Structure 1
Amino acid sequence: MLLVLMFALIAAGCVAIDLSSLKGRQKRRDRVVWGLLWIVGMAATICTLLKIQVPSPLLLIIFIFKPINDLVASWF
């Protein structure tokens, strides 16, 4: 747990450094995308540190596109 806390402190420092470069009203979308990527990255790192098994994102892509692929294959 100490490792997760240390990671969170280092990540907070990096966020503070990066966020200063994204200040300004015209860069709102950039901040939203940047924030989402940081959240996903930190969640993945915390899952790795806590040794939580997470299924592959490829399974989600297969789940979404398999019915579409079957539909298109049935047309031809």
Structure 2
Amino acid sequence: MLVLMFVIIAAVCIAADLPSLKGRSKRRDLMVYGVLWIGGMAATVCTLLRIQVPSPLLLIMVIYKPINDLVASWF
């Protein structure tokens, strides 16, 4: 029930903001806005449903560690 209420509130907020973003000159703004809204909604739904999601910091560490080791081996 809480998730449904959140989705309804988010839909109302999107509907209120969407008219100002329509138009050819703001197409990229609209795409960024959509990606951020989807990410935010997904994070909120996961929190409401108590779904354990690993930290995005772990992904950054997995990518950074080999590069850091390579640069450290040079010096």
Normalising to structure 1: TM-score of the pair?
A: 0.97
Amino acid at match of 2:10: A
Amino acid at match of 1:50: L
Unpaired runs of at least 5, structure 2 = none
RMSD: 0.5
Report the Cα distance in structure 2 between the residues aligned to 1:20 and 1:26, rounded to whole angstroms.
Answer: 13
Alignment of 1:28-47 (within 5 A): 28-47=27-46
Deviation, structure 1 residue 23 = 1.2
Deviation, structure 1 residue 62 = 0.1
Report the Cα distance in structure 2 between the residues aligned to 1:50 and 1:22, rounded to whole angstroms.
Answer: 31
Unpaired runs of at least 5, structure 1 = none
Equivalent pairs counted in the alignment come to: 75
Report the Cα distance in structure 2 between the residues aligned to 1:20 and 1:10, rounded to whole angstroms.
Answer: 17
Amino acid at match of 2:47: T
Alignment of 1:1-76 (within 5 A): 2-76=1-75
Instruction: For CA contacts below 8 A with separation 6 or more, give which structure has more relative contact order.
Output: 1
Name segments (4+ residues, structure 1) moved above 4 Å.
none
Normalising to structure 2: TM-score of the pair?
A: 0.98
